[in-house]
Amino acid sequence: MKRNAFLLGAAGGLAVVGHAGGFFSRALAQTPIGGADDRVLVVVYFQGGNDGLNTVVPFGMPAYYKYRPSLAVPQNDVLRINDTIGLNPSLKAVKDMYDKGQVAIVQGVGYPKPDFSHFRSTEIWETAKPDAYVSTGWLGRYLDGASLPAENLFNAVAIADVLPEALVAERVDVAAVAQLNGYGLTSDRSKTLGRDEFHSFVQDANVPFRSPYLAQVAQIEDHAQRGAEELPQLVAGYKPAATYPATPIGRSLALAAQVVGSKLGTRVIFVKLGSFDTHTTQKGTQDRLLADFAGGISAFYADLAAHGSDGRVLTMTYSDFGRRVAENGSRGTDHGTAAPVFIMGGGVKGGLYGDHPSLDALEAGNMNFTTDFRSVYATVLEKWLQRPSSGIVGSGFAQLPLLT
């Protein structure tokens, strides 16, 4: 059994013993860092398949209003970027950042032969392997090849209940925590099977079966407990300099700022927002989630700027897929293809990149992508994380000129 497969399985198994609100696959002592190696990538996952057409709005394309008689954003409400493209009005805070040159928008991002399953398409985005099934994520492969200090607890952090596949690595263990007070294994706080009882069970020679993984499970549990005790202390000295919205994404980004500001050596932070699976009554749900994102990310960068850290944090968004061009009969949209990606913060050369897909040449009701998502990844890897991209996402993917 490969180590990464074992760790994921171990997390699920321990959740049965005592349901885990958050889980660290490894928790070791860490050393704060700084200097040239303190760049951070924040990845925001729009879970469920965000509708790109009502996010980056092609108000200058007549077909947009033809296909969406009730869902289209009215022209007068669009936050205009040029005579054709603008932003959803819920993204006003993002538009303010765009006007300051802090946001790059990559249009029409997708991949060949798109898959419309949430599970498979998310897997494709997170592994960067549309034509294969692999056991590591694209960021996990970056972590494996980045020569990161093995003793560092926080090389990467997922602010989530479950470790995303994007961060599954072969040699680097990644922390997954939803909130500080939920960090660690609930078995340590449960009467079902406490920490001491679990370790006694592992060491008991009379147990009728011996698994080669039990000792490693016990070690991971022990490290998780140590990390649960250390993390709040490590970030306690950070004082937010912005008011975050009282939303899930606001709280997650506030925690991300604590991790960044505490300089724990973290290279990648994962945050999620959703669900954007808007088959019915899309407008209210999507507008609310986009507003949550805009308020959270604006506060995040204001906070970072006040601490002098905004230039060292790059944020990238992605989603399962876009939505179909035409609205359905339930005032929603169904699973589709190409969608925009936002790149924000440190090192960004703001503006629009790539071509917006045509709305007059659809394939089975869907747009044809114009930018391969692996070109976005290659750009982030080469220009921001300063690692060769070919061994991670494959070769032949042109970099985009959106980072300095």
Per-residue pLDDT, averaged over 137-166, amounts to 92
Instruction: Tell whether the model's pLDDT for residue 266 goes beyond 70.
Output: yes
The larger pLDDT score, comparing residue 129 to residue 210, is at 129
Q: How does pLDDT run across 298-354, given as a tens digit for each residue?
A: 999 999 999 999 999 999 999 999 999 999 999 999 999 999 999 999 899 999 999
Instruction: Indicate the number of domains in the chain.
Output: 1
Look at residue 213 and tell me if it is in a domain.
no
Task: Say which CATH number the domain at 125 has.
Answer: 3.40.720
Bridge partners for 57 per DSSP? 86
Q: Where are the alpha helices (DSSP H) in 18-146?
A: 62-67, 92-99, 118-127, 138-145
In a domain, 374, yes or no: yes
Whether 127 is in a domain gets the answer yes
**Who wins on pLDDT, 234 or 28?**
234
Higher-confidence position of 18 and 155: 155
How are beta strands 175-176 and 23-24 bridged, if at all? antiparallel
How wide is the angle at C-alpha 139 spanned by C-alphas 133 and 140, nearest 5°?
70
Domain annotation covers residue 165:
yes
Q: Where are the alpha helices (DSSP H) in 167-324?
A: 195-203, 214-235, 248-261, 282-306
DSSP 8-state code for residue 358: P
Residue 185 clears pLDDT 60, i.e. is over it: no
Contacts of 305 (CB under 8 A, 6+ apart): none
Region for 108 from its dihedrals, namely left if φ exceeds 0, alpha if ψ lies in -120 to 50, beta otherwise: left
State the chain's mean pLDDT as an integer. Answer: 86
Q: How many CB atoms lie within 10 A of CB 66?
A: 12
Residue 57 lies in a domain: yes
Task: Give the pLDDT confidence score for residue 188 in this predicted structure.
Answer: 46
Q: What is the mean pLDDT of residues 102-120?
A: 98
Q: Is residue 384 part of a domain?
A: yes
pLDDT at 28 over 60: no
* 198 CB neighbour count, 10 Å cutoff: 22
pTM reported for the whole predicted model: 0.86
Residue from 325, 287, 276 nearest 108 by CA:
325
Query: pLDDT tens digits for 66-81?
Result: 999 999 999 999 999 9
Residue 144 falls within a domain, yes or no?
A: yes
Give residue 196's pLDDT. 65
* Number of CB atoms found within 10 A of residue 251's CB: 17
- Domain holding 45, by residue range, is 25-184+241-393
In this structure, is residue 13 part of a structural domain?
no
Tell me how long the chain is: 404
CA distances from 12 to 19, 200, 298 (A): 9, 21, 35
The SS3 call for residue 381 is helix
